[in-house]
Structures are given as structure tokens and as C-alpha cells.
Amino acid sequence: MGSVNTWRTFENALDYFYYFNPMSGNVGTPARVFAKIAEQKQQDFLIYAVSGTDDFAYRAFKQQVLSLSSQAPRIFK
């Protein structure tokens, strides 16, 4: 599954999955929305996010992951 599909699956089907592995790319969904979804649907999950620094999507991807981490530090570790 591509990164955008992975983020959309997190957004729309978090209660069906535990592991998420986006590798590049971000979506426009604000981190606070993802945090709210996690608080409501399932707080037990793992996101293993990776991207190379030469990837054209690296900056936006990194910003999204760090934003998720800062929005809900007890959930996104």
C-alpha cells in the first residue's frame, strides 16, 4: 500500500489495523484530526514511518510525522 493509502487507512479504518508503515508522502489531514481519531477508535497501534532524505516528499512527510507526535505524545510515541 502506498503512503497516502496508508494514511487514509489510518484515518478511515484504524479499528481494523494495528501496524502502519507509510514510507513517503503525506496527506492534508491535520494532525489534530488524526489524534482525535486515535483517541476515539483505538489507542493501541504502531506507526513505523520511514523516508530517505533525498526523497522529494521528505520534508512534508517528516513534518506530518513530527506533528502527529507533538499533537498526542501519549498516543504517538
pLDDT digits (tens, 9 = 90+) for 7-58: 999 999 999 999 999 988 889 899 889 888 988 888 788 888 888 999 898 9
Beta strand segments in 1-77, E: 19-20, 46-47
Does residue 18 fall inside a structural domain?
A: yes
* pTM of the predicted model over 0.85: no
Does residue 57 fall inside a structural domain?
A: yes
Backbone φ and ψ of 46, nearest 5°: -135, 130
Does residue 76 fall inside a structural domain?
A: no
Count of domains observed in the chain: 1
For 55, other C-beta atoms within 10 Å of its C-beta total 15
Residues 9 and 20 sit within 8 Å (Cβ to Cβ): yes
CA–CA dist 68, 75 (Å, integer): 9
Domain that holds residue 61: 3-71
Give the CA dihedral 29, 39, 10, 13, nearest 10 degrees. Answer: -120
